[in-house]
Amino acid sequence: MEPKKDMEAMYRRLLDGNKHFSMNKKINDPEYFKKLSLGQRPDYLWIGCSDSRVPANEVTSTESGEIFVHRNIANLVVHTDVNLMSVLEYALVYLGVSHVIVCGHYGCGGVRAAMSNVMYGHVDNWLRNIKDVYQKNQTELNAIKDEDKRADRLTELNVIEQVKNLAKSAIVQNEWKKRPVHLHGWVYGINSGLITDLSVIHDGTEDIDPIYRFQI
Ligand code: CO
């Protein structure tokens, strides 16, 4: 990789940017950080892609304190992922979030990589989950000749599968016994800045196969 221009300036920009951020917030509301420091009570858990172009707060015009966020490559919900499961449990049980959103995005490098046969390394173990989504839907996907359109559809199918994975988790099912929790699947368009709601709403175990329903 080419060395990027001025290493020091590149790094300083973030700290300078932080000073501006802090100052601007305090100009608008001198109590802004004091109020935030009292605690968080977010209504939403966002499970999104690590892609630098899909920042949860920015694309939803929300403020600090409003969204609990977990991001990984290609927004996957994997039941053996201790990190995600801890975030999910904490968000539902201790923060009491009401909406869990899986937000994928068109033009996802992870989805593209999973669609190919290129070997990238460790990430291939992770992307295997998307290959499984492809395999499960291969009749539909193979019928789409245009590669970009096929990637877009796989992106959507992947989001739908991850929302189902949430519904299959004991954490979510336990919470459903106590209160309403809504699971949503979204796709963000990097070239439009707009979110498409895929209308995959799960609010109970009715939508998943009986084998995945725990007796609670
Ligand atoms: Co992505």
How do residues 61-88 score in pLDDT, each as one tens digit?
A: 999 999 999 999 999 999 999 999 999 9
For residues 92 and 138, membership in a common domain is answered with yes
For residues 114 and 140, membership in a common domain is answered with yes
Q: Single out the catalytic residue among 105, 112, 150, 202.
A: 105
For residues 88 and 20, membership in a common domain is answered with no
For residues 165 and 104, membership in a common domain is answered with yes
For residues 95 and 170, membership in a common domain is answered with yes
For residues 121 and 142, membership in a common domain is answered with yes
- Domain with 92 in it: 40-212
For residues 78 and 32, membership in a common domain is answered with no
For residues 72 and 160, membership in a common domain is answered with yes
Reported as a pLDDT band with limits 50, 70 and 90, residue 206 is confident
Q: What is the DSSP letter of 202?
A: B
pLDDT recorded at residue 72: 98
Q: Single out the catalytic residue among 41, 53, 79, 128.
A: 53
Q: If you measure from the C-alpha of residue 89 to the centroid of ligand 1, how many angstroms do you get, rounded to a whole number? A: 24
Q: Of 185, 210, 211, which Cα lies nearest the Cα of 197? A: 185
Q: If you measure from the C-alpha of residue 107 to the centroid of ligand 1, how many angstroms do you get, rounded to a whole number? A: 7
Helix 123-136 with 147-167: angle, nearest 10 deg = 100
pLDDT recorded at residue 3: 65
For residues 91 and 114, membership in a common domain is answered with yes
Let me know if 51 is a catalytic residue: yes
What's this model's pTM, rounded to 2 decimal places?
Answer: 0.94
Count of domains forming the chain: 2
Q: If you measure from the C-alpha of residue 134 to the centroid of ligand 1, how many angstroms do you get, rounded to a whole number? A: 16
